[in-house]
Chain A
Amino acid sequence: MAAGASEGVYCPVCGTRNRVGSGFCLKDGSPLPALDPARVVPVFTRDPATYSPEEIQEAVHRASRAVVRVRVKTTSTLKYPVVFQPEKELISIGQLESVEGASRLIGSGFTVGQGEIVTNAHVATPFGVPAQVTVDAQDGRSLPARLRGVDLASDLALLQVDTASLPQLEWGSSDRLQLGDETWAIGDPLDLGLSVTRGTISTKARMRTGLNQVEAFVHSDAFITHGNSGGPLVDVLGRVVGVSDMGFIEDRGQGYSIPSDMARLVVDRLRSAGKYERGFLGLHVRQVDTDNVKKYGLKRTTGVVVESVLKGAPAEAAGFRPGDVLFGINGRQAISSYLLQEAVSSVGPKASIVIILDRAGQVIELKLTTALRPVEPRIDPLLDLQSYMMVRFEEDPKHHGVVIRVPDSYSPAPRFGFNDGDIVDSMLAAQDWPDEPITFEYYKKKAHSASVSSLSELRSALGRMYMGGRVGVAFQIKRSLHPIAAVAYDEIWPIIL
C-alpha cells in the first residue's frame, strides 16, 4: 500500500520523507530525484514481507477467527506405565497410572472447508481412544463435532461440525518458507483463550523427533505449549503453513509444526476416504550417518539405510537386507526419509512399487507389492528398547541369563538403575504392571513375571511392553541391593516404510 506514495518523496540516502517538489533532502541535503510515473512497474505483486505491522495484524486477526478450541472428553479409562524415583536413589519404581473416563482435554484446531476442522490426532482421539469432541468457535458457539477421519501416523485428524458459517483458512506452502520468515502460531494454550505467538522460521531442515510415525517438522521459535496442539501456524498473509504439534517446554522458543504441504495431503485423504490407507513395505530405516557407514561399509551416503526388516512384511519376501541404501522409488529419486515414507504411503495397499537401492555398491531395483500399513507397525521390541536405553542385551552363557551392556556414557540407563554388567533374572512388561508401585515385595509375591534366560525369551516377553502410547518394562536384576529397576517412556517411532 505504498503509504504516502502520492504525498511525499523520500530521500534515497537517509529515507527521510520530504515534500513533493523539494530539490534536496531536509535532513542530509542529498539531491532528491523527481518522481517519474513511468517508473512504476505496471503489473506488480507486492512482497508480503513489506507489510506493515497493521496489515499483518489484520491478516493474523482474520486468520484467528477460523481457529477453534477443541474440547475433548474421553469415555474410557486409559492406563499407561510410569516410573518414579525415590529421592536421591538411582533406582526406579514402576506402576500404572490412569486417566479416568470423562476427563477433559483441550486442544486447538482450524477450519479449512465447510465445517471441516483440522486438528492433531492426539487431540481428537487422545491416546487413540474414541472421545466426545466439542468445538468452540470464535463467535461463541459450541458445536458437537464428529470425527471425519484420523491418521495416527502423521498425528492429524479431520473433524466435522454441522455448520457452514465458520470462517475458513487458506492453505499456504510450507516448502516456500524461508529462514527468518515471520509466522504466527494461533491456538488456545493452557485453555486461557485464543492467543497468538510469533515464530521466526529457524530451520526448514525437516526435524525428526520420533513422536510421530511419519514426520518432517518445521521448526520455529514460537512458544508452543499445552493446548496449542492442532492450531495453525500462519504466514504474513494468514495462510496455513503448519499445524502446531509440539514444543519443548523448558527450551525457550522451540516449536515444532507439521508442514502444511504434508498436512494438506493427509487432510485431502481424510476428507475423501475418512482414513489414509497407507502403503507398507515393512522396512525399518535410518538416515545415513557415520555410525552405519562404518557398520555396513556404505559407499553411498545419501538416502536411508535399512536397519531391519519387519517379520512377515512384503519387504521380507522381496529380499531386502540390512545395509541396503534406499534412494529412489518408481524411477524417481527420494533420499529424505519423509519423501520415501510418503511415496510408499501414497500408493496405498496392494499396489506394486519399485524401490531403487544400493547394495554394496551395486544399484538394484526391487519390485514388490505393498501391504496395508498397520496402525502401529513395530520393529523388534528388543531393538526398540536397546535404542532408547542406549544399551545392548547379551546372552551370558556362564550365568544362563541375559546381561546388560552400557557402552555409551550418554546412555540414560544408569539413571533408571541399570548398570553395565547387570544380569537380568526376570521381567514384567507394562501390560502386566499393577496400579500399585512395583516394589520387591510385590514383584516376589503377586507379579506374574516372565523369567528371562535367553534373548529370544526376552524378545517375546518384551512384546507386551507397549501400553497407552508408552513403553514400560521392569526387570529383576541379580543383585542384593535394589533388585528391581523399571523404565518407562513415551513411544519413539523409528522410521518405518
Chain B
Amino acid sequence: MRSGPSSSDAGRRERAVRHAARRVLRTGALFLALAAGLSSAAPLPGDADSPAQDAHSPGTPQRPRTCPRCGYLCDPAWHFCVRCGWDMQSLIGKAAGDRLDALMRAVVRVVVVKTAPKLQQILSPKDYKSVRHYVTWNPGHRKAFASAVPFLEPGLFVTTARTLAWSDSVQVVTSNNMEYAATVLGVDLASGIGVVKADVPGIEPIAPAGDAAGAVWAICFPVVFENDLVRYLPVSLHGGKVTGTRESGTYMASLENLLRSNHTIPDGCLGGALIDSRGALAGMILGSPDAGITFAVPARDLASIVGSLARKEPLQRPYFGMGLVTEDDRRRARFGLNDAPAHPLVGFLAPSSPAAAADMRPGDFLVAVGGDDVATVAAAGTRLLSATPGGPPVVLTLLRAGHQVQTSITPTVRPARILLDPADELQEALEANLIEVSTGPTSRQGLKVANVVRGGRGEDDEFKDGDLIVSVNGKGVRRLETFNQIVRSENPHIFGNAASDGDTFDMYRLSLEVRAQGETKDVRGYFSRFPGILAPPVY
C-alpha cells in the first residue's frame, strides 16, 4: 500500500504520531511501572478522600460552603443551593480534577486469553458492523481487551460478560501498569455483566450513583489494533452527556434497561466506567455501536447481579420465553399489523417455554403485566423480572387483532442459554422476514426474503427483498417448520437433550442456497449469532 500524496500537513504528522506513539507509550509504560514500584507504599487514592463522599457523612464537622454559582452560604447538609438551585454535590474545578484522577487510577484494564475453538470467534464489538463480523481463528489462544470497574467490594471488578465468557485466563492491569492475575467469579450473558476478582492493593470500589442525568465522564483503557500488533493507550477520560435511559433493542444483552450516552469510545473501552457529575458510578459501559452512541448498564442494576455473581449464587430469574421487541415496519408486515399501540410487541417465542405453552402468539402486543400497564420493553422487562420463578402465575393482558386477551403464565427458572427456533433466529439475525412460498413453479418455491431492513444485518450480508432460500445444507426448504427440523436434526450437540448450558461457545453453520431474482444460484454460509454475538431480547 502506497501512501498517497501528502496534500495535507496534518496527515503527515498524524502518520508519524502513529509510528512514534508505540515507542513513546512503551517507554511511558515502563516509567510508570517503575514509578509505581517506588511508591508502592502509598495507597492508590480511592473513594476515601473524595469530597463527594465526605460531604454528608454524619459525625464529620463541616463548615458551611459557598455556592460556586451565586455565592450563597449554604449549610453542609443541603444538597442544593436554596438560592439558585446549584447541585452542591456536583464536582467542579479542582475537586473534579482530584476525584477523576483518583477514579482514573481505580479503573483497570482487563486482558483475557481465550482459546479459540474450531468455529468462528468474534472480534470485540466495536460498532454495529463488527458485532456482526466474524473472523475465522485457527484453534489456539487469542486475547481480548477491555476495561473493568472496581465495584461493591475491594478486589471485585465488573466488566462485560462477553469479555469474560469462554475465557482461559484473565489478568487485570492497573493504570500504573502493574499486572495482577484475576479469576472469573461469574458471567451473566443475559444482563451482559461479568465479575472478576483480583487482589489489587489500594483500589477501593466506586460507589454507585442514583439516576444519572446530564454530564457523565467515561473512563477506560483504549487499545489500537495495528496489523497484528496491539497498541495500549494510557487510561483516558471522555466527556459526554446522558442521552437516554431505559434503552432496549441493542442486542447487546437480553435483559436491557440501558443508559445511553453520547460518548465516542475507542476499542478496549467496553467495561469502562461512566462517572456522573458527583463522582459516583453511573454505569458500566456495555458497548458502543457507533461514534456518539454508547450503552451502559446502570449502576443501580449492577449491584444485585454483581453481588450474586460474586457469591457464586445462581441467578434465579423468572422465565416466560417471550421475545419482546419494539414494533417496526418489518414486524408490522410480518404480523399484518395495522395499528401501532404504545406497547411492546411479542416478536417470537422461545420453544418449549411457558409462554409458548400458554395462549400467546408472536404478533401479540403486551399491554399489561399483572394489571400494570407497560409501554416499553424496558418497563415490561422490569415488571416481568419481578415475578417469582415457579411462584404465583402472572396475568398478562395481550392485544391481539384489536381485542384484549388475558392469559396467566407461571414463570420457570430462566435457563443459562436460550435457544430460539432456527427460523426465528435467522429472521432476527438478518433483520428480514422469511415468507413460505410453496405454490407456483417448483423452481420458485422456498423461503422468500422480504422486508430487509435498510442498513440492517441482512443487507450487510447481501440479502435483498425477493431473494429465495431454496435449500439449507443441500436439503430443499419451503416451510419454516422444515427449516427448523433440518437445523435441529443436524446440530444435536446444540439442540439435543444433552445440549450445552451456555458454558461453551457453540454455533451452528448453515449453507443456504439463495436464488436471486435473476435465477442465479448462490450458496452462502451462515453462522448462528445467538447468543454468542447477538443477545435475543427474551424475557
Give chain B nearest CB distance to A472 CB in angstroms.
12
- Segment of B83-91, B160-168, B330-338, B350-358 in the binding face: B83-91
Residue of B nearest to A222 (CB): B239
A46 within 8 A of B: yes
* Known contacts A209-B20, A252-B265, A252-B266; A5 and B27 CB within 8 A of each other: no
Contact with A along B243-262 (1 / 0, CB 8 A): 00000000000000000000
CB under 8 Å from chain B, chain A span 1-52:
2-5, 8-15, 17, 32-33, 35, 39-41, 44, 46-47, 49-50
**Cβ contacts under 8 Å, B69 to chain A:** 2, 46-47, 50
Chain A residues, CB < 8 A from B86: 50
CB of A288 within 8 A of CB of B31, answer yes
Taking the complex as formed, is B93 at the interface, i.e. its CB lies under 8 A from any CB of chain A?
yes
Q: Is the CB of A179 within 8 A of B237?
A: yes
Q: Which stretch from B4-12, B315-323, B495-503 is at the chain A interface?
A: B4-12
With beta carbons under 8 angstroms apart, the residue of B16, B96, B222 that contacts A492 is B16
Q: A203 contacts the other chain (Cβ, under 8 Å)?
A: yes
Check if B83 sits within 8 Å of A179, measured CB to CB.
no
Report the Cα distance A429→B387, complex, angstroms. 75
Say whether, besides A123-B9, A289-B30, A203 and B16 are in contact (CB < 8 Å).
no
Chain A: CB-nearest residue to B292: A252
Flag A281-298 by CB within 8 Å of B: 1 or 0 each: 000001111110100000
Contact of B71 among A46, A198, A469 (CB under 8 A): A46
Query: Nearest Cβ distance between residue B294 and chain A, in whole angstroms?
Result: 11
**CB of A489 within 8 A of chain B?**
yes
CB of A82 within 8 Å of the partner chain: yes
Q: Which residue on A lies nearest to B88, using beta carbons?
A: A12
CB-contact partner of B10 in A12, A201, A221, A225, under 8 A: A225
Number of CB contacts from chain A to chain B under 8 A? 242
A372 at the interface (CB under 8 A from B): no
| B-chain residues with CB within 8 Å of residue A253 when the two chains form the complex | 236, 238, 264-266
Q: Mark B11-31, 1 if CB is under 8 A from A, else 0.
A: 111111111111110110011
Q: Is the CB of A178 within 8 A of B73?
A: no
**Is A182 an interface residue when CB atoms closer than 8 A count as contact?**
yes
Residues from chain A with a CB closer than 8 A to the CB of B5 are 97, 99
Q: Is the CB of A41 within 8 A of B73?
A: yes
Q: Which residue of A lies closest to B33 (CB)?
A: A290
Residues of B contacting A289 in the complex (Cβ-Cβ under 8 angstroms): 27, 30-31, 34
Which single residue of chain A is at the shortest CB-CB distance from B83?
A5
Within 8 Å by CB of A210, from B20, B222, B237, B264, lies B20
When distances are taken between beta carbons in the complex, the residues of chain B under 8 Å from A211 are 13, 16-17, 20
A12 to chain B: which residues have CB within 8 Å?
74-75, 77-82
User: Known: A10-B81, A33-B82. Contact between A180 and B16, CB under 8 A?
Assistant: no
Instruction: Please state if A14 and B34 are interface contacts (CB–CB under 8 Å).
Output: no
13 A-B contacts, Cβ less than 8 Å apart? A15-B87, A180-B100, A180-B217, A180-B237, A200-B237, A202-B236, A210-B16, A210-B24, A221-B236, A225-B10, A227-B10, A248-B21, A249-B14
List residues of A whose CB falls within 8 A of some B CB.
2-5, 8-15, 17, 32-33, 35, 39-41, 44, 46-47, 49-50, 80, 82, 84-85, 97, 99, 103, 105-107, 122-123, 126-127, 178-182, 198-203, 205, 207-211, 219, 221, 223, 225-229, 245-254, 256, 286-291, 293, 301, 387-388, 390, 410, 412, 415, 469, 489-492
Known: A50-B86, A287-B31, A289-B31. 7 other contacts (CB 8 A): A49-B93, A178-B97, A200-B237, A211-B13, A227-B8, A490-B16, A492-B20
